[in-house]
Amino acid sequence: MEAENTGTGNEEKRSRRHFIGASAVAVVLVCAASAGIVFAYQMRLQRQTGQLDAQVNRGPRVLVEPIHPSKSARLYDIPITIRGYVETPSTRRSPAT
């Protein structure tokens, strides 16, 4: 009877140790995975920040069209487009009383 008790006690201790070890490994894996995600996100933000800084350093983007000289020295053909909007006043009508 004593032999049976010691055998089951060792098995319980082994299973408990196995469970604690597996739990510790799982915790370490979860921490490593979350740290990897955080580092990947940080690297992505750094790359994006570098790209935005480079864009700011290049200056504003302005579309430029060259001026085409005409036959006369005083006249130039300037390629432009004009987009205008007609402003209509909005007046509120008072109700007829």
**Report field, pTM of the whole predicted structure over 0.75:** no
- In a domain, residue 33? The reply is yes
Q: What is the pLDDT of residue 86?
A: 65
> Quick check: is 82 in a domain?
no
**Segment 12-61, tens digit of pLDDT:** 888 999 999 999 999 999 999 999 999 999 999 999 999 999 998 988 87
Q: Which domain holds residue 28?
A: 2-61
Q: How far apart are the first and last CA of the chain?
A: 109
Does a structural domain hold residue 66? no
pLDDT band at 69 (very low <50, low <70, confident <90, very high): low
- Residue (of 89, 65, 92, 91) closest to 79 by Cα position: 65
Are 65 and 79 within 8 A, CB to CB? Answer: yes
pLDDT at 5: 56
When divided into structural domains, the chain yields a total of 1
Name the more confident of 73 and 46: 46
With respect to residue 67, please indicate whether it lies within any of the assigned structural domains.
no
Is residue 90 domain-resident? Answer: no
> What is the full DSSP assignment across 34-59?
HHHHHHHHHHHHHHHHHHHHHHHHH-
Mean pLDDT of 59-88: 68
Residue 71 falls within a domain, yes or no?
A: no
In eight-state DSSP terms, residue 73 is S
Would you call 29 helix, strand, or coil by DSSP?
helix
Strands (E), 8-73: 68-69
What is the structure's pLDDT at 6? 60
